A and B are shown apart, each in its own frame.
Chain A
Amino acid sequence: MAVGVALKFTRENAIKILKVIALSAAIGVAVGYFSFYVTMPSVSVPTTKNPSLLLAGAILLLLGLIVGALSDSLETLAVEILLGIVVGALLGFILFISPTFSPEIDIPFAEEYIFFTLRSALPLLILGGATLFVGGFFGTYAGEHMAVRSAKSPFADDAVRPSKR
């Protein structure tokens, strides 16, 4: 029964899925960039000698707050963060091997890159995930608080289309 409900394709479900994909992508892009920025700071943009882990953590925390506020529930948030980290790991890996995509450079793909990427970026992926979840937890709380206040309003629909009334 539950599976049947979950698989039921409605406009609402489609919007929910799209929302999860959008939020995961936002997390993934940030995590992917930071995994590259922290391990290859000398060639990342902006170029830096010492990558600021504190700044990366603060941005991820803020991102977690925003994603949490926009998420429907804590369960959805967990799914979004997990998906986001997978997307981030993939993006980080693509950035690591980006020179091999250049037609001007003829470098065979080295399998060591996979282990190098994992070894370099894994601590950030784990810490980033935890930071995002902490931010997301408070963000979800704020989001639910907003939703409760919004639901109390007899003019809740007004908020989206205020010109109608």
Chain B
Amino acid sequence: MEGVNRVRLDARRVARIRIALWVTLTSVSLVFVAASTMSAINYTDVAMAKLAVSPVADLNITTSNLGPSGEVTDDTVFHYVAYVNVTNPSRKDVVLQFMKYQGWIRDYYMENLTHSHVPLAFSMIVADPSFRPTDGLIAANSVKDFYCAWNLSRADNSGGFEYARDIMNFARTSLGMGWRHLEMTHYFVFMLKVTGVPSDYTGPNSSYLIELPVIRKEQVTTWP
């Protein structure tokens, strides 16, 4: 009788184990389904942030210490002010890590010397600042403005300043064009990063993981 009871207990135990295994398997599968769904949503949000975040820079340039007849002297300072408006319509917070500006000026002087359009007319950088905001966080579904100012003077960037000065003075005296009417190209690079996505990976095959949260946007404007 005792033996029969033991066998009977075994059969019930086996059935209970099978049910427990099915329940465990179902629970584990549900956890994986939930994790997969949340991963897809998270990945989509990151991709959305990479595409939708749009920084727009509005540049304003003024001068001080121009010569008596409006010529650029060695004491002249060009004051650059950039208002950067970052729109983040995504569900992820992003951080503006830095902004880089490069300004180019058409080389009227060289064009006049060679009597042809100079292929490298815009090849001289007249200002090259990098801006790193202290609080660059742009929350999800929000807009934030940044302000960035720098100067171009002989003391700050003698090479770029002298290049710009010579072209501007030549254009003013020979072509009758004020510096505001010279053709310039302003190039902005914005580096933003999606928060909560690790990127400090090392290894030969991890470049896509390093790039994944990085948002790189460019803006090129030509005046006039």
Contact = CB atoms under 8 A, between A and B. Distances in A.
Interface of A: 23, 25-26, 29-30, 32-33, 36-37, 40-49, 63, 66-67, 69-70, 91, 94-95, 98-99, 101-102, 104-105, 107, 146-147, 149-150, 152-156, 158-160, 162
A150 B40 contact: no
Contacts of B33: 29
A152 B3 CA distance: 12
B32 A159 contact: no
17 contacts: A26-B29, A41-B198, A44-B39, A45-B38, A46-B35, A70-B22, A98-B40, A99-B44, A102-B44, A107-B47, A146-B18, A152-B10, A153-B8, A153-B11, A154-B7, A154-B8, A155-B11
A105 B197 CA distance: 20
Given A101-B44, A105-B51, 6 more contacts: A42-B201, A47-B42, A66-B28, A99-B44, A102-B48, A150-B10
Contacts of B32: 29-30, 32-33
Contacts, number: 134
A43 B29 contact: no
Interface of B: 4, 7-8, 10-18, 21-22, 24-26, 28-29, 32-33, 35-36, 38-40, 42-44, 46-48, 51-52, 196-201, 209, 212-213
A34 B17 CA distance: 27
A105 B29 CA distance: 29
A99 B8 contact: no
Contacts of A107: 47, 51
Given A105-B44, A146-B14, A33 B199 contact: no
Contacts of B212: 40, 42-43
B15 A43 contact: no
Contact of A158 (B12, B18, B197): B12
B14 A150 contact: yes
Given A33-B39, A43-B42, A158-B8, A25 B14 contact: no
